[in-house]
Amino acid sequence: KRRVSARVGGISESATLAVDSKAKALKAAGRPVIGFGAGEPDFPTPQPVVDAAIAACADPRNHRYSPAAGLPELREAIAAKTLRDSGLTVDPSQVLVTNGGKQAVYQAFATLLDPGDEVLLPAPYWTTYPEAIELAGGVPVVVPTDDTTGFLASVEQLEAARTSRTKVLLFNSPSNPTGAVYPPEQVRAIGEWAVRNGIWVITDEIYEHLVYGDAEHVSIAAQVPELADTCVILNGVAKTYAMTGWRVGWMIGPKDVIKAAANLQSHLSSNVANVSQRAALAAVSGSLDAVADMRAAFDRRRRTIVEMLSAIPGVTCPEPEGAFYAYPSVQELLGKEIRGARPKTSAELAELVLEQAEVAVVPGEAFGTPGYFRLSYALGDEDLVAGVQRVADLLGEAK
């Protein structure tokens, strides 16, 4: 018999967290590492949110177990926020509060998939999706995209990948890792295609408020109302309110699906920490002013990072329209000599960048598309410029 089950033994460590912890370990050992690994805003959590949490600590109501599906006030506030931000009317009973968006991702797949069910997964994809699909017994069917189409999957590509076993399309716009944002017409076309073919859509909208320039985020569930019975929305406070460590996310879906997922959660983790839920309540029911300030800073950093990366010979960096990631191609540099090494893959090149330039980036291998780097620009402006300059100095030596 195996010591570790095949199911769990098959899961690899989150590459993004691994890069981040390696960078933090090197930093702790005294090396001046600059980390572009974690998708984590560098801003403090807005003060009204922190104040709500402080008050919640002193309130004896919060010392006790609360309903596994979430505090009723928070479920209501999330329904109200969904109407405000997405123009979508949902009942609070359709909202399940989870430990971060990540738990919502796992529970969505666990609740919808039977063994062998296929999930269409456009690549580059966030590194957690295939693991969550496989743990649920599903089969990820990767739909590759590249920078020639702005990393957007078309209806034709999805149709070509569809089989009689296809149950779900995973849709993520704005995208981690590419920052691509699907234009409203394409969102509608994809949603209509899903309805026509009886395919569920799991739409991860955690970066909904982080879009730049002319890009616009629309929720596929609002664009295609016929999806109401076959759509699950994933979201959370982490990216919008600089609350990654507070661990509050949610899933919204048809009542039967949410009830089933809540049953699962009632045995898995019960309620999310009440103090965090009270903080999330203040965040989602408060104003979006702090988000606007953060967005302006991300937008400035976005323009800086794209300009600096594009100036490196052998690096091509499309302009991301959302989230806080740049996803440049480094394909032209592979196989070239850099400080005595000859990295052949983006993973090897990322290792070299960490060793020689003391800069942490996540290689495209983690997102199903070797040949790219993902750099989060959710770090301070000075570190951003210094870090990319170090990468530029190192890669500039390629011959």
List contacts with ligand PLP (CB under 6 A): 39, 100-102, 105, 126, 172, 176, 204, 206, 236, 238, 244, 249
CA 56 to chain centroid: 28
| Residue among 204 and 358 whose Cβ is closer to ligand PLP | 204
13, amino acid identity: E
| Residue among 39 and 363 whose Cβ is closer to ligand PLP | 39
- The reply to whether omega before 124 is within 30° of 0 (cis) is yes
| Residue among 102 and 209 whose Cβ is closer to ligand PLP | 102
| Distance of closest approach, residue 343 Cβ to ligand PLP, in angstroms | 26
Q: First and final CA of the chain: distance in angstroms?
A: 51
How far is the C-alpha of 87 from the C-alpha of 221, rounded, in Å? Answer: 9
| Residue among 166 and 244 whose Cβ is closer to ligand PLP | 244
- In sequence order, which residues have a C-beta less than 8 Å from that of residue 183 and are 6 or more positions away? 215, 216
DSSP-assigned states of every residue in 232-297 = EEEEESTTTTT-GGG--EEEE--HHHHHHHHHHHHHHT-S--HHHHHHHHHHHHS-SHHHHHHHHH
| Distance of closest approach, residue 31 Cβ to ligand PLP, in angstroms | 25
| Distance of closest approach, residue 95 Cβ to ligand PLP, in angstroms | 15
Position closest to ligand PLP via CB: 100
| Distance of closest approach, residue 338 Cβ to ligand PLP, in angstroms | 30
| Residue among 86 and 356 whose Cβ is closer to ligand PLP | 86
* Type and span of the H or E element at 130: helix 128-135
* Residue of 360, 353, 355, 318 whose CA lies nearest to 334: 353
Q: Using an 8 Å Cβ cutoff, are 49 and 283 in contact?
A: yes
| Residue among 101 and 179 whose Cβ is closer to ligand PLP | 101
| Residue among 85 and 204 whose Cβ is closer to ligand PLP | 204
Bridge partners (DSSP) of residue 120 are 141, 169
| Distance of closest approach, residue 238 Cβ to ligand PLP, in angstroms | 4
Token pair of 37, please? 């690994």
How far is the C-alpha of 282 from the C-alpha of 200, rounded, in Å? Answer: 32
| Distance of closest approach, residue 102 Cβ to ligand PLP, in angstroms | 3
| Distance of closest approach, residue 272 Cβ to ligand PLP, in angstroms | 11
Q: Using an 8 Å Cβ cutoff, are 106 and 265 in contact?
A: no
